[in-house]
Structure 1
Amino acid sequence: MTELLRIENLTITPKAEPERSLVKQVSFALEAGKTTCIVGESGSGKSLTALAVMGLLSDQLQLKSGSIHFKGRDIAQASHAQLQKIRGKEIGMIFQEPMTSLNPVLTVGYQIGESLTQHLKLAGATLKARVASLLQQVGIPPERANSYPDELSGGQRQRVMIAMSIACEPAMLIADEPTTALDVTVQAQILKLLDDLKTRMNMGMLFITHDFGVVADIADNVVVMFRGEIVEAGPVQAVLQHPQHPYTQALLDCVPDAEGMKPLKPIDYAWLNTGVA
């Protein structure tokens, strides 16, 4: 398989407190046509890791050490201009909360077309046809290109975000909790759509989630993060069937079964005092 992304010893700190690590010594890889899920609770460093890959960390944060190799090149050292050529074209990203990620005063067709204009220099009828095709691919009628975000449902807005992220057929897609706040039926549709697009385009997908149920559905590999560090990683079936770390075991205990008969256990952090890393 072709390796798209390799992160090695990534450490992110606040500029004002360089001794405090928000992400610490994170390392993993992603291959073309595969999905790696990063799972963990809020504040575990999942989104920060993804934003570092995109070069979108806040000005208050810094990449203190480590490397981010994309297609063999360390993009952690890339300039702003170089990253601008990669974002949207070679690496797409679906951000959380599509209503706040979409501009409310611009039509969704215009917003989908922005990266096509920027990276592929499409215009006029060619641009319009490409936008219509992208909307069809994500299950939205092409005429909705003239709609504004508030005229679409939550699921439709998420599909628009997907259309924007795949517009230039990137080699890699980062999906940051793309099913948050969607009902179960729409969530299943979005997950299937993403998996189908990944397979058709042979994309590598980095999928961020809290939900081990989602991980079981779509992941090839899983990375479990806690307090900015990776506590467990490996092929998805190995991690799901034989979790080694107490935190991974606790997260799996929080997943309900299909019949609703399994007692759900709150996460017990007692293991933190036992010296388990």
Structure 2
Amino acid sequence: MGVTVRGLCVEGPGGAPLVRGVDLRVEPTEILGLVGPSGAGKSLVAAAMAGLIPPPALARAGRMDFDGRTLNMTDPRQWRGLRGRGVFLLMQSSAAALDPTMTIGRQVAEALSANGVMAPKQARDATGGLLAQVGLEPGLQRAYPHQLSGGMRQRVQLAMALGLRPRLLIADEPTTGLDPIMQAEILRLLRLMNARHGSAMMLISHDWRVIAAMAARVAVMERGAIVESGPTAQLMASPRHPTTRLAMAALRELEAARA
């Protein structure tokens, strides 16, 4: 059935509008790109769609239809039992996403057992295999987040998502700060998850090269609003909004400089 968001509005302190009337739809098995400059509101949209708006921001309006269930995005009670297996947010800051006081293995196992995927013992037994699926040594179960690189921490989040098999995976700037080899590996794992489990996926980035490689359809944000959307190849070839045209001009200059 997919996921549809209508009229999402997020306000900051004093009622400052941060996200204004955002409408989005992610079809089952689709990868939708959400792109825009820093400060456009992309991460706030991601947090709102996972029921995790960071204070002091507040979701003031918005409705989300999720697999036939309608959610009032301002009511925290409606998110109970939905986060994790329903919606999983792969956070931009992998360090912030993981508890620094808990081992990697315990965190992955607790994610599975707390969401009812497996009994606690089964979850502990499955953790090593999930880490192996994302290219990590099972022995890293005993490590703490600060002992891992940024790319390794991102893969720990992906291991959790593999175990939970969410119906919607939101990946918020998953390759930011990673070297090119690790970026390619993270994107490969995201494609694998989408193909293997059929999860709907929203990929957030400011990098049009990532969006072009991953998403068949894209929505462009600027100053808290969606300003343009459509098939990725078509929009990149014939951008209509000044924000998109400027981004395409910058991309052409970058490619020319590298040629």
The normalised TM-score by structure 1 is 0.87
Instruction: Map 1:152-171; keep pairs closer than 5 Å.
Output: 152-171=148-167
2:186 maps to 1:186: no
Q: Secondary structure at the match of 1:214?
A: helix
Instruction: Deviation per CA, 1:192-214: give whole Å up to 9, x if none.
Output: 11111111100111111000000
Report the Cα distance in structure 2 between the residues aligned to 1:252 and 1:104, rounded to whole angstroms.
Answer: 40
Q: Secondary structure at the match of 1:237?
A: helix
Report the Cα distance in structure 2 between the residues aligned to 1:8 and 1:79, rounded to whole angstroms.
Answer: 15
Range with greater deviation from structure 2 (27-36 or 54-63) = 54-63
Which blocks of at least 5 consecutive residues in structure 1 are unaligned?
262-277
2:47 maps to 1:51: yes
Q: Secondary structure at the match of 1:65?
A: strand
Q: Offset of 1:82 from its aligned partner? A: 3.7
Q: Offset of 1:77 from its aligned partner? A: 4.9
Which blocks of at least 5 consecutive residues in structure 2 are unaligned?
none
Report the Cα distance in structure 2 between the residues aligned to 1:166 and 1:80, rounded to whole angstroms.
Answer: 25
| Alignment match, 1:264 | none
Distance 1:84 1:258, change over 3 A: farther
| Alignment match, 1:89 | 85
2:14 maps to 1:28: no
Which residue of the other structure, out of 57, 62, 86, is the alignment partner of 1:61?
57
| Alignment match, 2:120 | 123
Q: Offset of 1:79 from its aligned partner? A: 4.6
**Is 1:89–1:115's contact at 8 Å kept on the other side of the alignment?**
no
**Is 2:26–2:200's contact at 8 Å kept on the other side of the alignment?**
yes
Q: Which AA in structure 2 matches 1:246?
A: P
Report the Cα distance in structure 2 between the residues aligned to 1:165 and 1:94, rounded to whole angstroms.
Answer: 8
Q: Offset of 1:81 from its aligned partner? A: 4.2
Report the Cα distance in structure 2 between the residues aligned to 1:168 and 1:133, rounded to whole angstroms.
Answer: 14
| Alignment match, 1:195 | 191
Report the Cα distance in structure 2 between the residues aligned to 1:49 and 1:102, rounded to whole angstroms.
Answer: 21
Instruction: Deviation per CA, 1:70-122: give whole Å up to 9, x if none.
Output: 11222225753441311111111111121232222211111111121112252
| Alignment match, 1:73 | 69
Q: Offset of 1:59 from its aligned partner? A: 3.9
| Alignment match, 2:255 | 257
| Alignment match, 2:11 | 13
| Alignment match, 2:205 | 209
Instruction: Map 1:138-149; keep pairs closer than 5 Å.
Output: 138-149=134-145
Instruction: Deviation per CA, 1:149-180: give whole Å up to 9, x if none.
Output: 12222211110011123321111101010111
Report the Cα distance in structure 2 between the residues aligned to 1:247 and 1:132, rounded to whole angstroms.
Answer: 44
Instruction: Deviation per CA, 1:34-90: give whole Å up to 9, x if none.
Output: 111110111101011111111111343332233111112222257534413111111
**Is 1:107–1:147's contact at 8 Å kept on the other side of the alignment?**
yes
Q: Which AA in structure 1 matches 2:200?
A: G
| Number of aligned positions between the proteins | 256
